[in-house]
Amino acid sequence: MNIILLGPPGAGKGTQARRLVEARGMQQLSTGDMLREARSSGTEMGKRVADVMDRGELVTDEIVIGLIEEKLTHDHPPGGFIFDGFPRTLPQADALGELLTKHGQQVDAVIEMQVDDEALVTRIAGRATCAGCGEVYNDTLRPIPADGACGKCGGTEFKRRADDNEESLRQRLMEYYKKTSPLVGYYYAKGQLHRVDGLAEIDAVSGAIAKVLDKV
């Protein structure tokens, strides 16, 4: 099963992807992770990625599709793939569909994690992520435990994104709605779109996604 997670920055796509990896044996294909992996791989594609990034240029859709094709060719996770961060635009969606068809596969479900913008800003401003396991905390809504240790893995190192502040987040939301939100209509027209409440409790979101995937 191949699925796409849609939703604005901070909607919880990464958290839910990790849960699907653990629960269903899926493999998360994150554009950022693939680019970093390729850059240090020494392969021909990796050299292309490194060259583009070293010049400070944006990696082309062609390169990203090439990286995804490498994964489809060499990796065969039992639960299928989760596309996280790609596609972001309608041309990318077309390219991904063509690539999957070429390999005898398809997008089985597109899950839109719906959120309220104001609630999202509150949730993301002050966000901290455990460096060890990726568990997410928030200064107001879910503080780091008083002993300074992650409640999931016990790690004591936490990361904060420099752009996890109200002004930056609103700019990222605007970019999302301009470029990526048209994908909602695109996949709705294909009958592949499913919506869940992205601001519900993490377990509730996981349960909603599980119901969708169990029916596909």
User: Which residues are the active-site residues?
Assistant: 13, 88, 127, 161, 172
CA 56 to CA 50: how far, in whole Å?
A: 10
- Residue 192 has, within 13 A of its CA and on its CB side, a CA count of 19
Task: Give 97-148 as a DSSP string.
Answer: HHHHHHTT----EEEEEE--HHHHHHHHTTEEEETTT--EEETTTBPPPTTS
Tokens coding 54: 């070293």
CA 84 to CA 101: how far, in whole Å?
A: 19
CA 156, 37, 213, 124 torsion: positive or negative?
positive
User: Which helix (H) or strand (E) covers residue 109, if one does?
Assistant: strand 109-114
User: What is the four-CA torsion angle of 163, 85, 28, 15, rounded to 10 degrees?
Assistant: 40
Tokens coding 197: 């409440």
- Residue 99 has, within 13 A of its CA and on its CB side, a CA count of 22
